[in-house]
A and B are shown apart, each in its own frame.
Chain A
Amino acid sequence: MKRFITVIVVALLAACNSPPDRATTLTVFAAASLTDAFNEIGAQYEAAHSGVKVAFNFAGSQQLRQQLEQGAQADVFASANHQELDAAITAGLIVSGTSQVFARNRLTVIVPKDNRAGIETLADLAKPRLKIVLASLNVPIGRYALIALDKLNQKFGATFSATVLSNVVSSEDNVKQVVAKVQLGEADAGIVYTSDVTPAAAEKVTALDIPDEFNVIATYPIASLSSAPQSDLAADFVKFVLSSSGQSILKKWGFITQ
């Protein structure tokens, strides 16, 4: 019995005294729509800064903000709208005035490639018995979509938005799930960001443009967190995102850049 305890204690001590990690980890919470762009930005940043590992948490901005409020540790927060970042500021997680807009985005309607529901124009979204999938209202894209639909009332009549909404069969948790359901052909249409029509996605979906006058410009702010474990690195990463290298990557992935 004594020997057993000794072994356990020695093992625990050994575990506690393991050499510190060589790599420093920078934790970035980013909106789901930023997945492809930020993965590439992260890879470039790692290549330029040896010993640094960028770890991403991609999810709906509302979920990220909620996690931060509940105490999740992160260095940088990149949101798909001002609302969630402002909420983080209100919660004392980010210093007011330190956030910067690093990209913009527009909305688009996507339909499965074979378009069995025959949605050729935006007006077709009001056709009866369609299965439309949107993000839920607490997700930035969900809210933006509602604004765009309301704007389209100017063109298609006051009841257009309500009719389209009555075709909604599911409210997803982030924009990528909307893309997935349309790609799978389970949804007849979805409203996502233009940046979500990536080369990979374009193989399975077709995009229907929403004219500028009815579209919504989504603004993406980024900021380091007040309690960032790697605050210097965080600030440097934000600078990188705003630099010409970061901006060209964002542009490549379909975002509107400065």
Chain B
Amino acid sequence: MRRLAATLVGGVLLLYLIVPLLVILGRAIETGLLDQFTHPTVTQAVQLSLLTTPISTLITIGLGTPLAFSLARRKVRGRSIIETLLDLPIVLPPAVAGLALLMTFGRRGLFGPLLEQLGLSLPFTTIAVVMAQTFVAAPFYIRSAQTGFANVPHQLEESASDLGANSWQVFRRVTLPLAGPSLVSGVILTWARALGEFGATILFAGNFAGRTQTMPLAIYQALESDLGSAVAIAALLIFISFVFLLALRAVTHGRVSHPML
């Protein structure tokens, strides 16, 4: 009896999460999805999203892995404050993130004059898109990686170095594989957050087809003028995400640990 109740209750949530996605896919096919795909607005948005999100994710991995490792291992003074600050972009409304970026890196921002001297103007550029995505998405990776590194048993690493491995070899052969599932979860969350990023992007990078109009921005604009186009891009977004997640699971043989631990 209890198991049936649990299944029913769980099933309701499952349906709630899945059905709307299927509705979009269905509606898109119904209204002639394929024609929409040749529309320049759609192709530009897809190209831009598929260009910027991997870059943001790679930057996050490159800079975030050492940070996560330090946070997990070193006795950092004020660690809880640092960790709380790193968690902020996750809970902040994206528009706040956008405003913060604007006030820091905008032309009249904190670093505005300096950037101008270097001949750089960041708002309204594709770089700004990457910056906005990285800002809101990186904390997911950092937290996940940090947990992963912290959970690697020290004895295993100690044994490895006792057996003659240098610290890089220990990291590569012992730490990294054991922390792997957490790192992969982090990458998934980061990429997904970057792909869906809207508020910070539209404020800091602006909305310009081909340069800063990522898929979420294109959907938002299309919603007000051409619903068919919006549905097509939305369906594409769902499909791309699904394929990516599936591929990632296949590559990691399903060994993905729970994200927000």
Contacts and interface: CB of A to CB of B under 8 A. Distances in A.
A170 B126 CA distance: 12
Contact of A63 (B206, B208, B224): B224
A131 B106 CA distance: 13
B208 A169 contact: yes
B223 A136 contact: no
B225 A169 contact: no
Contact of B224 (A138, A168, A169, A170): A138
Contacts of A138: 221, 224-225
Contacts of B221: 136, 138, 171, 173
B107 A60 contact: no
Contacts of A172: 206-207
Contact of B207 (A60, A63, A131, A136): A136
B188 interface: no
Contacts of A169: 123-124, 206, 208, 211
Contacts of A137: 225
A185 interface: yes
Interface string B171-211: 00000000000000000000000000000001000111001
Q: How large is the interface on B (under 10, 10 to 19, 20 to 34, 35 or more residues)?
A: 10 to 19
A66 interface: yes
B105 to A, nearest CB: 10
Given A60-B224, A62-B225, A171-B221, A185 B107 contact: yes
A66 B224 contact: yes
B102 A62 contact: no
Interface in B96-146: 102, 106-108, 121, 123-124
A133 interface: yes
A170 B225 contact: no
A137 B225 CA distance: 9
A170 B108 contact: no
Nearest to B124: A169
Interface in B205-221: 206-208, 211-212, 220-221
B124 A173 contact: no
Interface residues of A, number: 20
A66 B227 CA distance: 9
B207 A173 contact: yes
Contact of A170 (B212, B220, B223): B212
A186 interface: yes
B224 A184 contact: no
A185 B113 CA distance: 13
Contacts of B121: 131
A170 B128 CA distance: 13
A15 to B, nearest CB: 21
A136 B212 CA distance: 14
B102 A170 contact: no
A184 B101 CA distance: 12
Contacts of B211: 169
Interface of A: 60, 62-63, 66, 131, 133, 136-139, 168-173, 181, 184-186
In the complex, the 7 A-B pairs of residues with the closest C-beta atoms, listed nearest first: A170-B206, A169-B124, A138-B225, A185-B108, A62-B224, A66-B224, A171-B207
22 contacts: A63-B223, A63-B224, A66-B227, A131-B123, A131-B124, A133-B206, A137-B225, A138-B224, A138-B225, A169-B123, A169-B124, A169-B206, A170-B212, A171-B221, A172-B206, A173-B202, A181-B206, A184-B102, A185-B106, A186-B102, A186-B106, A186-B108
